[in-house]
């Protein structure tokens, strides 16, 4: 890190000197500076190239959403709007970040091209990089993008590493902001769900700009505020019923046509209960059949459908653990952008940003391990349980409790993003090269992240509080440790103890008073503050005890980025021209640094809390790059060859972590006549591993894969004989009989392990080709049709194998002498006890399909029909041919399809699309949007009687129904400079598909809104 810091300081000093020198020199150069308007209306810097040209003339397909599309959508969350672009359908919005983003992901909204991961999608602002939104990652939080400053959003699909560098493996999304804005624009909007009266959203923005110095300069200021109120899983029936819980099918027959995994309604976790589950003779056979609820009533087991799950009874419904469906998000985004023409030859620009995004979401409550309670001492044990224990001759009972009364765990996250972009755009040697320019830019960005984990259960305090006795001096309950500083909670009476729910095992270390982990967090004694905790029954815990065992822990992280770019671009018009025209080119160099650190609270690093044991992360890298691009016109204005040009680009990179890489691209455009244009590209793109993938420490995690060596799981292998032989080779040396081994027992319900980075990673490589057509028929003015076929293959992909893959591959490969077995540790009784998961370069990704777009503008009055206004239709669609990922080494896409793992399971729709239809009539504008997702191959629901089947939803192989939403907005111009509008999104209240919360249907439901915009 010292070398990185020295390098950064040196680069900053060098940059300042360079900018000063370049600015002074450029001001002395004579000639005319080529301003944007001089390039012509259509001759712009298109995303995906550094050569100015008309958008449709570029060889790479680009989909554009402009400011008008954004306002007509009624969306104030940009990702929810961009999800309608089929290539971005896998992006993470408020739903996905809350439900499945993992620890620290609350509130993050990230873009994901081709469903291949946000780390493979490069996000740009005005063609320049933007700092990542979370520690260790380069993925940009789209919440930091100012909505009302956007001029357009360009979505470039296909590898673009040769143009923009790493992370553009699947493409780039470029947010182009407004420039030369004059006046003041104010917009406000608010809305909620009419059916539930919740999920309120508010948005307000002010944008002001003014030209100065005889219009040679412009300064623009923007501030916007938005708030999204989250909703809980209990607020929606489709979530509260637990329909999206995918579990083992109790009727599974490996030899029959019955699915192994099904969705269950009202499924429960057998080992947990809101009232508490109490076992008296628990260790007699390890069957974990609770005898009593915590309040002393008999425990109802329900219908046991799997080792870990049942339906009905006293156990906790799985749906109770879901917490928030969407987060609370509050955004403050301020921008100041300015540019100034120092002389006709030199233009400078400066962009300043500050964004603060606050987010909040709840998750499941903490749940207790099996805690031994001494019946004779503990005053909270109900009499019925005490009597039963005495009759059984048991001194100790065991209680497992879902601690709902301790409060749900929650994440309260504040992210602050600072960004500066500055640079010069100059014209040099104007007498010889009319279009030759030299551009320099400097970008610095930093995101500071503060994460408060609320109701983080402190384990040693929790165990001490549970060990309650009667204080003889007061005859009131107290903690045993308050009376005896040397007292220890009773230990589980077998070696090693266990945490069968993946809970921290306080007895797995040498226990000493006040040291249930590695360093004392709780010091027992009269002044410890310990309050006795009663978890027998529901709602019996005192607030003092709850406050004692909970902690709100603070975690801080940051990510920092610096980019210096220099580009020489122009054409050869002043020197030579080919018969078809001059050669356009761009040459440049770039230096980039990425640094990140993550500092979890001390209590988490010591493993004292319910959450995983995590450690600090510090890492970074730098990269020097050189790049070039050329566009060569070969034929122009010939019969059946109005245009034929070839493009090529390359980028050479030298990383401090992985060494040198090369990315390149070739493409071409052929236009036989003015109505039709063919385009195509072939690119080799690379992605270097990010900071988290390289430098994350070995953090604690817990796993619950099915043990492939369990006698019930041997027949499930593709080659049962091979699995049986390999399992025997592992278990026999341990003295375990493989013929009777039951690996899926209570000791293996979950077990610990680590998840971390891998400093030995190398780059992943993507080979992408596209071939497309652009139609603009002269005989039907206003119509544009584009269609592009894409095929992308990523080799040496970085992926952390799933825990189930690791344990399965260990015994399903020809020999147990393999890298997967090296990641597994087993106990002396054969059970799984430890697992190591790290990212490795083994994955193979492949996706292909067709993207197409239709745009048609029609004015009936222009063709002699009645003037009933103007109409604009746009449809953006996609056909998905395949989307696969092979996460295991040695496999290829040519193997049997059932040997591969589909990236989205069977949830990848073949057809997706979004239709926009707008009618303009005088002062009225009506917009209709339809978003569609095809039915998908999965299980379909048969009708069932919940009472008869006790909540089991029966599935047969088939497809789900197609999903679509309908949005309408009506806008009226009340004044030349003022509009009012109302709208409804998801008009028919389409619910998410079972087991697939999110795109294209979010969890909010029908949503109505209204707003205004005012310009002056």
From 242-256, 651-665, 751-765, 995-1009, the region with the lowest mean pLDDT: 242-256
DSSP secondary structure letters along 649-705: EEEEEEETTTEEEEEEEEEEEEEEETTEEEEEEEEEEEE---HHHHH---EEEEE-P
pLDDT at 429 over 70: no
Q: Residues 824-850: pLDDT tens digits?
A: 999 888 989 889 888 888 888 889 999
* pTM score, whole prediction: 0.85
Mean pLDDT of 738-754: 76
Where residue 6 falls among pLDDT bands split at 50, 70, 90?
A: very low
Three-class DSSP labels, 742-801: CCCCHHHCCEEEEECCCCCCCCEEEEEEEEEEEECCCCCCCEEEEEEEEEEEEEEEEECC
Quick one: how far is CA 372 from the chain centroid? Answer: 40
Neighbours of 715 (CB within 10 A): 11
* Percent of the chain with pLDDT strictly greater than 90: 42
pLDDT range class, residue 190, cuts 50, 70, 90: very high
CA angle 533, 538, 540 (to 5 degrees): 40
Crossing angle of helices 720-731 and 803-812, in 10° steps, is 90
Q: What is the pLDDT of residues 134-172, one digit of tens each?
A: 888 889 999 999 999 999 999 988 778 888 887 888 989
**Which pLDDT belongs to residue 853?**
95
What distance in Å separates the CA atoms of residue 534 and residue 545, rounded to the nearest whole number? 8
pLDDT of residue 285 exceeding 60, the answer is no
Note the pLDDT tens digit of each residue in 522-560.
666 777 888 999 989 888 999 999 999 888 888 899 999
Q: Is the pLDDT of residue 511 over 70?
A: no
Closest alpha carbon to 757 in 41, 110, 29, 137: 137
Residue 955 scores a pLDDT above 90: no
Q: Express each pLDDT in 682-719 by its tens digit.
A: 999 999 999 989 998 888 777 888 899 999 899 988 89
Predicted confidence band at 976 (pLDDT cuts at 50, 70, 90)?
confident
Tens-digit pLDDT profile for residues 323-352? 888 899 999 999 999 999 998 889 999 999
Pairing of strands 437-457, 408-427: antiparallel
Between the two ends of the chain, the Cα-to-Cα distance in Å is 51
User: Is residue 951 very low, low, confident or very high in pLDDT (cuts 50, 70, 90)?
Assistant: very low
Residue 726: the pLDDT is 96
- Of 595, 614, 594, 592, the C-alpha closest to 603 is 614
Length of the chain (residues): 1016
Distance CA 992, CA 114 (A): 21
Two tokens at 157? 């699909």
Highest mean pLDDT among 198-212, 447-461, 462-476: 198-212
Q: Is the pLDDT of residue 919 over 70?
A: yes
Instruction: Report pLDDT for 96.
Output: 59
- Segment 635-641 mean pLDDT: 90
Report whether pLDDT(268) > 60. yes
């Amino acid at each position: 890190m010292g070398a990185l810091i020295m390098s950064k300081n040196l680069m900053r000093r060098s940059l300042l000197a360079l900018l000063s020198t370049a600015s002074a020199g450029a001001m002395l150069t004579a000639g005319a500076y080529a301003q944007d308007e001089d390039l012509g209306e259509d001759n712009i810097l298109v995303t995906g190239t550094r050569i100015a040209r008309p958008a449709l003339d570029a060889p790479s397909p680009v989909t554009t959403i402009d400011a008008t599309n954004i306002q007509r959508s009624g969306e104030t969350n940009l990702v929810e709007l961009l999800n309608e672009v089929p290539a971005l359908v896998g992006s993470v919005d408020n739903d996905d970040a809350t439900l499945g983003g993992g620890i620290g992901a609350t509130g993050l909204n990230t873009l994901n091209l081709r469903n291949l991961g946000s780390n493979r999608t490069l996000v740009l602002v005005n063609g320049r990089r933007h700092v990542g939104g979370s520690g260790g990652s380069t993925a940009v939080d789209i919440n930091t993008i100012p909505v009302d400053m956007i001029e357009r959003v360009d979505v470039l699909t296909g590898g673009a590493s040769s143009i923009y560098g790493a992370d553009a493996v699947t493409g780039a999304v470029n947010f182009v902001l407004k420039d030369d804005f004059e006046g003041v624009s104010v917009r406000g909007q608010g809305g909620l769900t009419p059916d539930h009266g919740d999920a309120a959203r508010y948005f307000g923005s002010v944008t002001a700009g003014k030209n100065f110095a005889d219009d040679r300069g412009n300064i623009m200021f923007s501030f916007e505020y938005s708030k999204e109120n989250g909703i809980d899983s209990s607020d929606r029936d489709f979530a509260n019923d637990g329909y999206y819980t995918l579990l083992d099918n109790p009727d599974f027959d490996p030899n029959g046509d019955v699915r192994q995994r099904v969705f269950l309604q009202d499924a429960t976790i057998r080992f947990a209960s809101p009232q508490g589950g109490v076992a008296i003779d628990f260790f007699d056979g390890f069957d974990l059949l609770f005898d009593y609820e915590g309040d002393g009533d008999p425990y109802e087991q329900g219908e046991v459908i799997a080792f870990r799950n049942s339906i009905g009874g006293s156990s906790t419904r799985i749906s109770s653990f879901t917490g928030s469906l969407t987060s609370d998000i509050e955004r403050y985004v301020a921008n100041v952008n300015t540019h100034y023409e120092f002389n006709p030859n030199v233009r400078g620009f400066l962009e300043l940003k500050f964004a603060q995004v606050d987010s909040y979401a709840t998750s499941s409550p903490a749940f207790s391990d099996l805690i031994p309670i001494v019946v004779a001492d503990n005053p909270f044990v109900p009499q019925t349980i005490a009597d039963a224990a005495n009759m059984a001759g048991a001194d100790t009972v065991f209680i497992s409790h879902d601690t709902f009364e301790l409060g749900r765990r929650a994440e309260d996250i504040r992210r602050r993003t600072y960004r500066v972009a500055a640079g010069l755009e100059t014209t040099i040697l104007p007498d010889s090269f009319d279009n030759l320019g030299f551009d320099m830019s400097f970008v610095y960005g930093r995101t500071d992240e503060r994460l408060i984990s609320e109701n983080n259960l402190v384990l040693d305090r929790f165990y001490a509080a549970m060990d309650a006795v009667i204080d003889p001096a007061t005859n009131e309950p107290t903690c045993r440790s308050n009376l005896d500083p040397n007292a220890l909670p009773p230990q589980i009476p077998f070696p090693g103890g266990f945490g069968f729910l993946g809970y921290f095992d306080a007895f797995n270390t040498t226990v000493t008073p006040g040291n249930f982990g590695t360093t004392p967090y709780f010091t027992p004694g009269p002044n410890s503050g310990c309050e006795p905790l009663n978890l027998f029954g529901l709602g019996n815990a005192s607030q003092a005890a709850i406050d004692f065992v909970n902690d709100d822990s603070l975690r801080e992280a940051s990510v920092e980025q610096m980019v210096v770019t220099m580009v020489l671009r122009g054409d050869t018009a002043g020197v030579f021209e080919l018969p078809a025209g001059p050669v356009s080119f761009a040459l440049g160099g770039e230096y980039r640094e990425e640094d990140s650190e993550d500092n979890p609270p001390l209590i988490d690093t010591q493993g004292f809390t319910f959450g995983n044991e995590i450690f600090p992360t510090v890492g970074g890298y730098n990269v020097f790059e050189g790049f070039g691009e050329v566009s060569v016109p070969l034929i122009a204005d010939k019969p059946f060859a109005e245009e034929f040009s070839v493009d090529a680009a390359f980028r050479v990179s030298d990383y401090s972590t992985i060494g040198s890489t090369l990315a390149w691209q070739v493409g071409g455009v052929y236009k036989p006549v003015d109505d039709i244009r063919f385009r195509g590209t072939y690119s080799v793109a690379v992605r270097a591993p990010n900071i988290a993938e390289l430098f994350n420490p070995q953090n604690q995690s817990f796993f619950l894969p099915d043990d492939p060596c369990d006698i019930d799981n041997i027949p499930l292998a593709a080659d049962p004989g091979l699995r049986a032989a390999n399992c025997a080779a592992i278990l026999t040396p341990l003295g375990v009989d493989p013929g009777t081994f039951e690996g899926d027992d209570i000791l293996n319900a979950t077990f610990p392990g680590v998840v971390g980075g891998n400093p030995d990673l190398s780059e992943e490589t993507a080979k992408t080709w596209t071939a497309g057509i652009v139609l603009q028929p002269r005989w039907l003015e206003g119509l544009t049709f584009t269609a592009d076929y894409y095929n992308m293959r990523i080799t040496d992909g970085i992926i952390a194998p799933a825990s189930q893959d690791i344990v399965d591959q260990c015994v399903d490969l020809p020999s147990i002498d393999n890298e997967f077995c090296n990641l597994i540790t087993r106990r002396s009784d054969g059970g799984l006890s430890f697992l190591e998961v790290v990212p490795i370069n083994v994955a193979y990704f492949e996706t292909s399909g067709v993207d197409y777009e239709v745009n048609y503008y029609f004015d009936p009055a222009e063709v002699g029909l009645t003037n009933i206004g103007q109409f604009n239709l746009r449809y953006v669609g996609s056909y998905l041919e395949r989307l696969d990922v092979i996460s295991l080494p040695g496999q290829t896409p040519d193997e049997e399809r059932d040997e591969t793992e589909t990236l989205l399971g069977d949830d990848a729709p073949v057809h997706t699309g979004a239709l926009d239809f707008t009618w303009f009539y005088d002062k009225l504008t009506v917009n209709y949007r339809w978003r569609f997702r095809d039915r998908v191959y999965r299980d379909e629901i048969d009708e069932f009687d919940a009472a008869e089947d006790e909540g089991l939803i029966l599935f047969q192989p088939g497809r789900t129904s197609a999903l679509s939403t309908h949005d309408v907005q009506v806008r009226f111009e009340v004044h030349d400079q003022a509009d009012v509008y109302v709208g409804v999104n998801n008009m028919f209240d389409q619910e998410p598909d079972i087991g697939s919360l999110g795109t294209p249907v979010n969890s909010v439901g029908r949503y109505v809104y209204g707003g205004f915009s005012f310009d002056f």
